[in-house]
Amino acid sequence: MPGLFGLMKIMKETSISQINIQSAMDIMANSLFHRRDYVLQTTISEVHGFGIGRISHPLGKGPSWPSAYDVQVGRRNVFLHGEFSKDCAHVLGSVSLGNLQISAGEVLRKLEGYYSLVFVHHDFQSIILGVDRKGSEPMFYLEQNGFLFFAPEVKALLAVCRGRVEPDPEAIPLFLSCGHLLGDQTLVSSIKRLPGGCYLKVQENIIERESYWSFCPGEEVGQESEENLKGELEELLKESVGRNLGSPDKTMIFLSGGLDSRGILAGALLFSNNNGRLLNTVSWGIDENIPGSDAYIAKQISERFHLQHRFFQRKADKYSEVFAETNYLVDGLSDVAAFHPYEFTILKEVKEMGFDRVLRGDETFGWHGNVYSSKEALAKVGLRSIGGIHLYSKIVRPKYFRDWSEGGAAAMARVKSKIQGMEPNDAKDYVYFTHRLQTYLHSCAAYKQVLFEHRNVLLDDSILTFLRRVPWHLRLNKNLYEKAVLALYPPLNSIPFAENSGLEDWNGILKKESVLQSFMQEQLEDGNSGIWEYFDKQAVNSLFKKILSDQQVHSWSSSWGVWLRRKISGGIFSAFPRHSERIRAERFQSVISPYQALFRLLVLKNWHETFIEGKRKGS
């Protein structure tokens, strides 16, 4: 995908003859070139053991690209991919090469936008790698044989990695239990992700990761009234949409029936002077006519405001092909390929229609539900280790279950230490931003970035800064954001919010004769896969058979009875919220749906065969 990639010598005693810089750059570029229309720019200095490249969309080349001579004579030293949300030339122009190691954090705090960048000292020995506050332009890195390699995709680093590649014993259990990783993890033990708000400092044989900014919701709460905060948020939403909309005829807005995309649409309608015909929107699902679904409500919105709207049907008839393609693009960093395999196919059709930019509604206005402890905060966001999940103790081989339980617990202990002492709902929103939005949701963005200039309007830096002043009770269930959206464009209030996603019932599809069921059976019967080093093949197949035999019986006990029990338990839980959250958090530590476990195993198996076994065979 587009972004910065390269390598640099970090150990003075390292001989530059150990590696062919040009060859390594070519290998990484080939791994990242998913489209023929990408633009490639490189700067290479073999004598200094340095190479850096930028892959861009044809209309998003960005600022001028420094040459090796520019860097050596101190003329220019900033390599950038992405764009700033305001003029930052004066900030970058003031970067002092002499004290860059000291001033890097201060400089990065002044920058706003969607970017990754590299600062290089004129002697090529002092280097800073940084990403924006959201980590929206991904950067992964690998230290190897006295060199630092970096790229926007893990596969590019695996392509130049020498020696044996090992799965990360702290990341694998998080993937299996949560469906995604923590903010700095990949599935490979030697490769890390640079989280949002962080930078790498490379100097004198040392690589250090430092933070220049952290998401701290509610940290600066004052005496401001709710009405004033709502009014300010309205203005910030309008300004962010205006900055990110680009050319409306070339920009596609993702539209659901929910609150997040409605805020973007409200700003876009104001920006277009209430002329919805200038705006392009898209939604998808299994059927546009499922009452109350995202696509159904999106259709109502588009008709009401005369939008140029498209609907695409998600299909499961080519599951194996589209699953493998998506999992390859996202490097197995989440389970998105298993549950949303057809989206990339849809997006390729959108690209063929001539669109260059997409606006998406990821946000951090407040994760749903009140919590009363840090344990409940982690459970609400969906973070846990594998150790307490009984199902995995049955299908993971004992040695690895022990190792992964310990590794996952160590990773979770670091997360817990970061939120110690926080108000529980502040902790919940911090963890959501740091470890779910930047991992799961960013992996969903990855295959969109392959095709488009991708912008998350609701994660504008001005909004993130504003949220420091918003108390948790106004963030609870997106309370303040919802009021701001409804006030921003009142005509939208006439249309209800969606009641269901209108997406696949994967558990039900798996139980029926289907392409998915056949593919799953084929994968689980594959005796040649290296994944069975970690999992008990017989136990996994027994679990699969149990799922198939556990057919729903449509009776009073399985439909009306289930509804009634949920209604009763919901009423009891509402009456005793503290008690209910404690019960939910405890239960969350040990329970996972069998089909979810199988889908995540499917992702892990495909990733292992593609990148680990493929790498070993190549070596």
Note whether 5 and 152 are within 8 A (CB).
yes
- Secondary element (H or E) of residue 43: strand 39-45
pLDDT number for residue 16: 67
pTM: 0.94
Domain ranges of the chain: 3-211, 226-366+445-494, 506-618
Angle, CA of 149, 174 and 468, to the nearest 5°: 80
- Report the relative pairing of strands 308-313 and 140-144 from DSSP bridges: unpaired
Note whether 270 and 278 are within 8 A (CB).
no
- Report the relative pairing of strands 357-360 and 251-254 from DSSP bridges: parallel
Model confidence at 553: pLDDT above 70: no
Least confident of 17-26, 110-119, 548-557: 548-557
pLDDT number for residue 88: 72
Q: What is the DSSP string of 44-86?
A: EEGGGTEEEEEEE-TT---S----HHHHHTTS--EEEEEEESS
Per-residue pLDDT tens for 76-125?
Answer: 788 999 988 877 766 776 555 456 666 788 889 999 999 999 988 766 66
Model confidence at 195: pLDDT above 50: yes
Query: Using 50, 70 and 90 to split pLDDT, how confident is the model at 554?
Result: very low
Note whether 297 and 265 are within 8 A (CB).
no
- Residue 214 has phi, psi (to 5 degrees) of -140, 145
Note whether 334 and 429 are within 8 A (CB).
no
Task: List Cβ neighbours of 610 (8 Å cut-off, separation of 6 or more).
Answer: 324, 327, 328
Model confidence at 557: pLDDT above 50: no
Tally the C-alpha atoms within 13 A of residue 618's C-alpha that lie toward its C-beta.
Answer: 15
pLDDT number for residue 555: 37
| 12-16, 389-393, 566-570 — most confident range | 389-393
Q: Which CATH superfamily is domain 226-366+445-494 in?
A: HUPs (3.40.50.620)
Task: List Cβ neighbours of 614 (8 Å cut-off, separation of 6 or more).
Answer: none
CATH architecture of 3-211: 4-Layer Sandwich (3.60)
Tell me the average pLDDT across 271-288.
97
Query: Using 50, 70 and 90 to split pLDDT, how confident is the model at 196?
Result: very high
Q: What is the mean pLDDT of the chain?
A: 91
Q: Give the residue from 92, 108, 63, 152 showing the smallest Cα distance to 454.
A: 152
Task: List Cβ neighbours of 328 (8 Å cut-off, separation of 6 or more).
Answer: 155, 610
pLDDT number for residue 120: 86
Model confidence at 233: pLDDT above 60: yes
Dist CA 351 CA 328 (whole Å): 19
